Structure 1
């Protein structure tokens, strides 16, 4: 299967992203990028960079294992499992969240002639955050068990 250079570059970037490299986001994203996940909507590279700086300042580790990748024209999808560790969540242990990203690429002077202009993440926000909180987590897990 043919690998898409821009999509592979995006995945490689996220595998190296940490608190010391958030300043490199403009190499991957356009100036007017729109980033959206179940918890946020951010418009522009300055807002996205600020968000990642705050996010990574509190994380001990964050890694991605990328799975399936598909691209047609300017739109791509990639599945992933994020493993992260935060001192105040899940008792400071690693935990995993599965998700998918939809990316739109735009022509630019990026390393592969393209940068991401739209990035939307899909994942279970409860599994990422709410279920990891000491009191709220047990309530959410109990509701999920009863609903299942």
Structure 2
């Protein structure tokens, strides 16, 4: 077999394992699906009653994902029925989302999300942020920095019912991973 064939097979195996792992945890692998997002915006109209409290809770929960009480913060932050898409996973169930966020926090050595700007338009809230995290994968230290925006809607109690992230997870996350990162960076450089 050629080196190119071996690399392709390795990439397929790793991508398959990532996908299987995600599906086994109750989420779905996804990029942006406009019809799913549009449907969620129709289903979860949101409320203006407790937006300020909801934004404060969001900033506190995401400010440091390594917090010991992250599970409790995420459970309080999100409504039981919701739409969540972070460009990597989609969740409609709070417990599955809380498990995912807890595992994410457990895998990080350091994490910070700095909200730079909050924009409100009726029941819609848009947060512009920068994110930085440190972790280790397969013995490799990963230090990632990225920017993005999150569209949020809250229920009357200030809990998130709609969460759609807009950021380049491929460059900020996958490009940092051993083996997979090689292929992501290579594809990015060819574009």
Q: Decide: shared fold, TM above 0.5.
A: yes
Distance 1:34 1:117 in 2: 6
Superposition deviation, residue 40 in structure 1: 0.6
Aligned-partner SS, 2:115: strand
> In the alignment, is the contact (CA less than 8 A) between 1:19 and 1:53 conserved in 2?
no
Distance 1:7 1:139 in 2: 37
**CA displacement 1:42-95 (0-9 Å, x = unmatched):** 112111111111111111111111112101221100011110011118942432
RMSD of Structure 2 on Structure 1 (CA): 2.2
> In the alignment, is the contact (CA less than 8 A) between 1:14 and 1:64 conserved in 2?
yes
> In the alignment, is the contact (CA less than 8 A) between 2:82 and 2:92 conserved in 1?
yes
Show the counterpart of 2:185: 141
Q: 1:136 to 1:24 in 2, by over 3 A?
A: closer
Q: 1:10 aligns with which of 58, 68, 88?
A: 58
Query: Which protein has the bigger helix share?
Result: 2
Structure 1 residue 72 corresponds to structure 2 residue 121? yes
Aligned-partner SS, 1:60: strand
Q: TM-score, normalised by structure 2?
A: 0.65
> In the alignment, is the contact (CA less than 8 A) between 2:137 and 2:178 conserved in 1?
no
Distance 1:24 1:136 in 2: 32
Aligned-partner SS, 1:134: coil
**CA displacement 1:6-63 (0-9 Å, x = unmatched):** 3233213321443522222222211112211211111121111111111111111111
Q: How many residues align?
A: 140
Q: Higher mean Cα deviation, 87-96 or 128-137?
A: 87-96
Q: 1:118 aligns with which of 149, 157, 162?
A: 162
What 5-or-longer segments of structure 1 have no aligned partner?
Answer: 109-113
